[in-house]
């Protein structure tokens, strides 16, 4: 059993003010593999005080000094790359190939991308009779989830550091060990004391204390829409900036001209990546009604070739979902889909054959889904795909937009110009055409209840900046 019972505050590993612990569960074995301390408002006060003091000097560092720091961080991250990948697979269940190729890689990519933005960023700009100056927003509270843990931590930490901000991080208590390794990376790289602080804990005791803290100037939150609302409410009394990346229920519109086999099989695979635990997963596949039955056959064959298993075993395509809470929620929604009359194409409730321990979910596909069903509206956050038939392109766009969310969208077509025209009508923050992947320089975020503000790239960097107009008298 690993023990990580200290918090990283003011450049040191310190004991919590009030001792309280939580076991971290390995979702493959359902057994604890680590123990962390759980913080309180008193720990947050200590971390914020350290960040406030550090802001006075760190906010005045030069771009050259921050670039040197980023170089050191990237070097230390590279040294710990395999440790980060291994622990992510252990604590949240991603297959080790995915942890190495994507989970750990995203953290490295965000540091590198932000470093490049910092090199070229224009901090002052003449605007007629005034010049516009950009300055760090201040002390930032960062709250991150468990599904892409180091990705969602670093896409906040990197721009905050580059902007000249100081910060307090509360990672998910479900998958917290990767954040502890990152704290060790930042310490080894020479991040000045108090600039980065880490307090483990839950939303009720640590997250709420951060969101309502008078000396935190910005909250950056990634997680469920429900929790994001609570962060915004707690932050309102101190009128701090709140940036949120929340839930999604992304539509994948397969137009009539698309290669159906490639589009459907690719959509199934992308939906099920990371065991379906991605906020931007294409979980609603929209297909022409005349091709619906053919699409179900393709989806069934693809899903039944996706092998769940031990994240460290060769041949595993998807691992378990992260926790019993998530497992039970997914099982209930699968059963609800059956009860509502959707066609169960493959999968269903219960564990996959041969897996009697661990939070493993059968790769599940539903057909003949209507958009008023719970499985078409609620974020399942598991390997569950809904396939909805449509009669006209206008109907497909209407169905795609008929959701409280607006994070990502997908369009498949043999005509890219046509797909781009459809993408323009989708009320989402991102649209991927014909399987195009992400770009770390592009903004990530959503419309409606998928949040506000943006992460990644230059626009994500600007979230951590204030703007000041300076008026100079005429000569």
In a domain, 462, yes or no: no
Would you tell me the crossing angle of helices 63-79 and 104-120 to the nearest 10 degrees?
A: 160
Asked if residue 176 and residue 53 are part of one domain, the reply reads yes
Task: Provide the token pair at 270.
Answer: 């992308």
The rounded distance, in Å, linking the Cα atoms of 163 and 439 is: 21
- The pLDDT value recorded for residue 329 is 98
Would you tell me the crossing angle of helices 81-92 and 63-79 to the nearest 10 degrees?
A: 70
Task: Provide the token pair at 259.
Answer: 């290669």
The rounded distance, in Å, linking the Cα atoms of 89 and 95 is: 6
Sheet holding 21-26, edge to edge: 2-4, 31-37, 21-26
Asked if residue 60 and residue 139 are part of one domain, the reply reads yes
At residue 276, what are phi and psi to the nearest 5 degrees? 75, 10
Output the CA angle 178-182-183, nearest 5 degrees. Answer: 120
Asked if residue 291 and residue 427 are part of one domain, the reply reads yes
- The pLDDT value recorded for residue 259 is 98
b/e map of 126-135 (b: 16 or more CB within 10 Å)?
eeeeeeeebe
The rounded distance, in Å, linking the Cα atoms of 152 and 174 is: 14
The residue from 279, 379, 455, 463 that is catalytic is 279
CA distances from 306 to 302, 346, 434, 451 (A): 7, 12, 21, 31
The rounded distance, in Å, linking the Cα atoms of 38 and 17 is: 10
Contact 253, 399 (CB under 8 A): no
Using the 8-state DSSP alphabet, how is residue 214 labeled?
T
Is the backbone of residue 348 left (phi > 0), alpha (psi -120 to 50) or beta? left
In a domain, 26, yes or no: yes
From first to last of its 475 residues, what are the pLDDT tens digits of the chain? 899 999 999 999 999 999 999 999 999 999 999 999 999 999 999 999 999 999 999 999 999 999 999 999 999 999 999 999 999 999 999 999 999 999 999 999 999 999 999 999 999 999 989 999 999 999 999 999 999 999 999 999 999 999 999 999 999 999 999 999 999 999 999 999 999 999 999 999 999 999 999 999 999 999 999 999 999 999 999 999 999 999 999 999 999 999 999 999 999 999 999 999 999 999 999 999 999 999 999 999 999 999 999 999 999 999 999 999 999 999 999 999 999 999 999 999 999 999 999 999 999 999 999 999 999 999 999 999 999 999 999 999 999 999 999 999 999 999 999 999 999 999 999 999 999 999 999 999 999 999 999 999 999 999 999 999 999 987 7
Domain around 296? 251-439
Asked if residue 266 and residue 232 are part of one domain, the reply reads no
In a domain, 467, yes or no: no
Contact 408, 430 (CB under 8 A): yes
Q: Nearest-CA neighbor of 84 among 194, 175, 158?
A: 175
Contact 136, 213 (CB under 8 A): no
pLDDT tens digits for range 163-197 = 999 999 999 999 999 999 999 999 999 999 999 99
Asked if residue 260 and residue 194 are part of one domain, the reply reads no
In a domain, 472, yes or no: no
User: DSSP for 274-341?
Assistant: GGG--TT---EEEEEGGGHHHHHHHHHHHHTT--B--TTSTT-SB---S-HHHHHHHHHHHHHHHHTT
Asked if residue 263 and residue 210 are part of one domain, the reply reads no
- Does the active-site annotation cover 184? no
- The pLDDT value recorded for residue 474 is 78
Contact 218, 140 (CB under 8 A): yes
Asked if residue 276 and residue 421 are part of one domain, the reply reads yes
- Does the active-site annotation cover 245? yes
Output the domain CATH number for residue 233. 3.40.605.10
Q: Report if pTM > 0.85.
A: yes
Asked if residue 376 and residue 392 are part of one domain, the reply reads yes
In a domain, 463, yes or no: no
In a domain, 454, yes or no: no
The rounded distance, in Å, linking the Cα atoms of 261 and 244 is: 36
Task: Provide the token pair at 205.
Answer: 């005791």
Asked if residue 208 and residue 295 are part of one domain, the reply reads no
Last residue in a domain, options 218, 246, 274: 246
User: CB neighbours of 223 closer than 8 A, spacing ≥ 6?
Assistant: 143, 144, 145, 246
Asked if residue 228 and residue 103 are part of one domain, the reply reads yes
The residue from 76, 91, 173, 245 that is catalytic is 245
At residue 165, what are phi and psi to the nearest 5 degrees? -85, 165
- The pLDDT value recorded for residue 174 is 98
Asked if residue 273 and residue 349 are part of one domain, the reply reads yes
Q: 257: helix, coil or strand?
A: coil
- The pLDDT value recorded for residue 440 is 97
**How many domains are there within the chain?**
2
Asked if residue 361 and residue 212 are part of one domain, the reply reads no
């Amino acid at each position: 059993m690993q023990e990580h019972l200290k918090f990283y505050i003011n450049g040191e590993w310190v004991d919590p003010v009030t001792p309280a612990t939580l076991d971290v569960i390995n979702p493959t074995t359902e057994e604890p593999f680590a123990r962390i301390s759980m913080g309180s408002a008193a720990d947050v006060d200590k971390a914020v005080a350290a960040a406030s003091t550090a802001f006075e000097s760190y906010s005045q560092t030069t771009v050259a000094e921050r670039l040197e720091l980023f170089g050191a961080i990237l070097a230390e991250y590279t040294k710990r790359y395999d440790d980060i990948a291994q622990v992510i697979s252990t604590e949240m269940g991603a297959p080790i190939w995915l942890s190495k190729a994507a989970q750990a890689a995203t953290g490295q990519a965000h540091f590198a991308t932000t470093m490049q933005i910092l090199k070229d960023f224009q901090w002052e700009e003449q605007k007629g009779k005034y010049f516009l100056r950009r300055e760090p927003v201040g002390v930032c509270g960062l709250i991150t989830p468990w599904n892409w843990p180091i990705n969602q931590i670093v896409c906040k930490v990197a721009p905050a550091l580059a902007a000249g901000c100081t910060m307090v991080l509360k990672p998910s208590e479900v998958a917290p060990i990767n954040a502890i390794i990152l704290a060790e990376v930042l310490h080894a790289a020479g991040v000045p004391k108090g600039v980065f602080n880490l307090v483990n804990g839950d939303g009720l005791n640590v997250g709420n204390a951060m969101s309502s803290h008078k000396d935190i100037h910005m909250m950056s939150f990634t997680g469920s829409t429900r929790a994001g609302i609570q962060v915004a409410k707690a932050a309102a009394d101190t009128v701090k900036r709140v940036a949120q990346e929340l839930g999604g229920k992304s539509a994948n519109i397969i137009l009539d001209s698309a290669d159906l086999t490639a589009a459907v099989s690719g959509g199934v695979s992308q939906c099920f990546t990371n065991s379906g635990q991605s906020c931007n997963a294409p979980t609603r596949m929209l297909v022409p009604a005349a091709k619906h039955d053919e699409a179900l056959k393709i989806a069934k064959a693809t899903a039944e070739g996706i092998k769940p298993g031990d994240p460290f075993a060769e041949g595993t395509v998807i691992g378990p979902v992260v926790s019993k809470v998530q497992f039970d929620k997914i099982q209930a929604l699968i059963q609800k889909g059956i009860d509502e009359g959707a066609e169960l194409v493959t999968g269903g409730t219960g564990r996959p054959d041969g897996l009697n321990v661990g939070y493993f979910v059968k790769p599940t596909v539903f057909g003949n889904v209507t958009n008023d069903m719970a499985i078409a509206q609620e974020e399942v956050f598991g390997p569950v795909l809904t396939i909805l038939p449509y009669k006209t392109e206008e109907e497909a766009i209407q169905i795609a937009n008929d959701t409280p969310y607006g994070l990502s969208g997908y369009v498949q077509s043999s005509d890219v110009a046509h797909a781009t025209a459809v993408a323009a009508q989708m009320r989402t923050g991102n649209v991927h055409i014909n399987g195009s992947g992400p770009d770390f320089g592009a903004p990530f975020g959503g419309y409606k209840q998928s949040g506000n503000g943006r992460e990644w790239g230059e626009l994500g960097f600007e979230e951590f900046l204030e703007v000041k107009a300076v008026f100079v008298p005429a000569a």
